[in-house]
């Protein structure tokens, strides 16, 4: 059973704006924390920092934070996201484009830059033709006007030679399903899911020998035995999305890739190599020069989540290596299909690669079909705007404790006045926030053993009862019964 110590409502400073105005946050220390209980806490707006859980007091803060999560099943990378991926690909290929030249090039995938690629292989041309036929069959099966659709989509139905060291891409990849899905939604007025459209195209594909296709996150990834690095090598197997316990990504080195890019997932550890990057990042990005190995340990290494050997759940470090050199670390909590991003730090020398966005895309791709929790979103906070660009995302309504799709209208409500805690849900009174506070179900743990509050109300000090009422109010009735309270 999960057990927490109560730290109460503590004074702090707003950490989200330069004003650093006084604010308050409710703090718990988790002694043990079951995955399900942690998930329930996140879904009530809590965040984790080492062994501590905190929830800003939204009535006493200048920047009200809303928990934001991405629906990964329906995620579609934006052009800006694809640019980040391409930038890293180019870096790995050692293709240096001068910044002047880069400025003149359009940001669009279909721009002249795409034409500078090496001459397409015969297989690529074959795949292109197969894809077109399969897409037309899918469009027809949905009742779309094939001629009009073909004209509208002809530049979008493309197969690209994969240049990234991406384990989840084959030698060739196509984003065509995203365009087909958008077209179908517009043409039919129905709401199609890109993953289903991609699967439909994959099923309709008639591929050349020794070529296979997988549909992952709406992308079609082609694996061709004849075009992989070593011609006698089998296509790279797909890793199950959450099989991440100390498993290095099976990263194929593509012919044009000059630098080696690897991702390794380990349990959190305070090694000199990792700590040095954290220290450099804090000093460079946050102007924080007071870090110590002990502060790093308590902030990011310590975790109350179970670390069962062989389990894909719990807290992990994702280590990104370039030619063997550690360049970035993502700290994540894996909760079944859901991933929660805790922190990310990188070597300041690699800031131009936008590794923060890259790692988020990587984590989203690996979190399967669940939600990707991106921490807090604050209206009008420019540093947080990037989170809302991962769509479709949802914000937690602090009044009803329900998630609400982050439409333009909902985001505008948080932007109107960042210091006002606003109800985001369409109807009030949906959640449990108006329920009376009941502390009878709480189990207190003393050195001598557990006791139920219900049986000992008269012997407990009024101050203790007040603390328990505050706790019950802030975690809600369900977690009040699930979280044991450690009294020593
Ligand atoms: Zn503030």
Q: What is the pTM of this model?
A: 0.69
Report residue 406's pLDDT band, with 50, 70 and 90 as the boundaries.
very high
Q: Is the pLDDT of residue 372 over 90?
A: yes
Report the top-level CATH class of 122-224: alpha beta
Q: Write the pLDDT tens digit of every residue in 27-75.
A: 999 999 999 999 999 999 999 999 999 999 998 899 999 999 999 999 9
Quickly tell me which residue has 């980040």 as its tokens. Answer: 84
Centre of ligand 1 from the C-alpha of residue 58, in Å = 11
Q: Write the pLDDT tens digit of every residue in 325-341.
A: 999 999 999 999 999 99
Centre of ligand 1 from the C-alpha of residue 381, in Å = 9
Centre of ligand 1 from the C-alpha of residue 61, in Å = 7
If you average pLDDT over each of 116-130, 228-242, 392-406, which comes out highest?
392-406
Please state, in angstroms and rounded to a whole number, the distance separating the CA atoms of residues 300 and 279. 12
Centre of ligand 1 from the C-alpha of residue 409, in Å = 22
Centre of ligand 1 from the C-alpha of residue 19, in Å = 6
Question: Taking the domains of the chain in order of start, what are their residue ranges?
Answer: 122-224, 260-373
Q: What are phi and psi of 419, to 5 degrees?
A: -90, -5
Centre of ligand 1 from the C-alpha of residue 23, in Å = 8
State both tokens at 435.
């329920």
Please state, in angstroms and rounded to a whole number, the distance separating the CA atoms of residues 317 and 174. 30
Residue 105 confidence (pLDDT): 36
CA angle (209, 213, 215) in 5-degree steps: 170
Q: Which residues contact 262 (CB under 8 A, 6 or more apart)?
A: 165, 248, 249, 251, 320, 321, 324
Q: Is the pLDDT of residue 210 over 80?
A: no
Q: Is the pLDDT of residue 374 over 90?
A: yes
β-strands 22-32, 47-49: how paired?
Answer: unpaired
Centre of ligand 1 from the C-alpha of residue 424, in Å = 20
Nearest in space to 468 (alpha carbons), one of 434, 443, 488, 447: 443
DSSP E strand boundaries for 310-420: 314-322, 325-335, 338-346, 371-377, 393-396, 403-405
CATH fold for domain 260-373: Aminopeptidase (3.40.630)
The percentage of residues in the chain with a pLDDT greater than 90, rounded to a whole number, is 54
Centre of ligand 1 from the C-alpha of residue 65, in Å = 10
């Amino acid at each position: 059973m999960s057990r927490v110590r109560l730290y109460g409502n503590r004074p702090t400073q707003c950490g989200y704006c330069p004003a650093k105005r006084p604010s308050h946050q409710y703090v718990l220390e988790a002694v043990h924390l079951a995955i399900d209980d942690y998930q329930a806490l996140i879904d009530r707006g809590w965040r984790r920092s080492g062994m501590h859980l905190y929830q800003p007091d939204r009535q006493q803060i200048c920047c009200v934070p809303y928990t934001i999560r991405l629906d990964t099943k329906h995620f579609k990378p934006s052009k800006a996201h694809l640019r980040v991926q391409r930038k890293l690909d180019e870096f790995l290929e050692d293709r240096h484009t001068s910044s002047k030249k880069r400025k003149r090039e359009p940001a669009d995938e279909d721009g002249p830059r795409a034409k500078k690629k090496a001459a397409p292989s015969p297989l690529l041309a074959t795949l292109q033709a197969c894809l077109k036929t399969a897409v037309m069959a899918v469009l027809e099966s949905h009742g779309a006007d094939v001629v009009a659709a073909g004209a509208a989509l002809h530049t979008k139905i493309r197969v690209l030679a994969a240049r990234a060291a991406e384990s989840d891409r084959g030698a060739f990849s196509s984003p065509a399903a995203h365009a087909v899905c958008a077209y179908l939604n517009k043409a039919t007025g129905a709401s199609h899911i890109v993953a289903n459209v991609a699967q439909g195209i994959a099923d309709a594909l008639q591929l050349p020998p020794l070529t296979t296709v997988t549909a992952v996150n709406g992308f079609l990834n082609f694996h061709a035995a004849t075009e992989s690095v070593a011609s006698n090598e089998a296509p790279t197997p797909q890793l199950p999305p959450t099989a991440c316990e100390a498993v290095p990504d099976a990263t194929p080195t593509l012919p044009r890739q000059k630098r080696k890019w690897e991702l390794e997932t380990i349990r959190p550890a305070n090694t000199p190599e990792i700590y040095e990057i954290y220290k450099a990042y804090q000093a460079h990005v946050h102007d924080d020069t007071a870090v110590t190995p002990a502060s790093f340990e308590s902030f990011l290494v310590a975790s109350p989540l179970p670390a069962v050997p062989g389990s894909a759940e719990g807290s992990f470090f994702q280590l990104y290596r370039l030619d063997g050199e550690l360049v970035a670390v993502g700290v994540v909590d894996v909760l079944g299909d859901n991933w929660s991003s805790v922190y990310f730090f990188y070597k300041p020398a690699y800031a131009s690669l936008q590794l923060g966005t890259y790692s988020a895309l990587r984590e989203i791709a690996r979190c399967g079909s669940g939600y990707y929790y991106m921490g807090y979103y604050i209206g009008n906070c420019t540093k947080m705007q990037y989170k809302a660009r991962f769509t479709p995302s949802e914000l937690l309504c602090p009044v009803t404790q329900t998630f609400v799709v982050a439409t333009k209208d909902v985001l505008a409500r948080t932007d109107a006045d960042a210091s006002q805690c606003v109800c985001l849900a369409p109807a009030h009174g949906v959640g449990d926030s108006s329920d009376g506070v009941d502390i009878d179900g709480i189990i207190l743990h003393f050195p001598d053993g557990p006791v139920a509050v219900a049986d000992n109300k008269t012997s407990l000090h009024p101050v203790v009862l007040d603390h328990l009422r505050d706790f019950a109010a802030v975690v809600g009735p369900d977690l009040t019964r699930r979280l044991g309270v450690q009294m020593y």
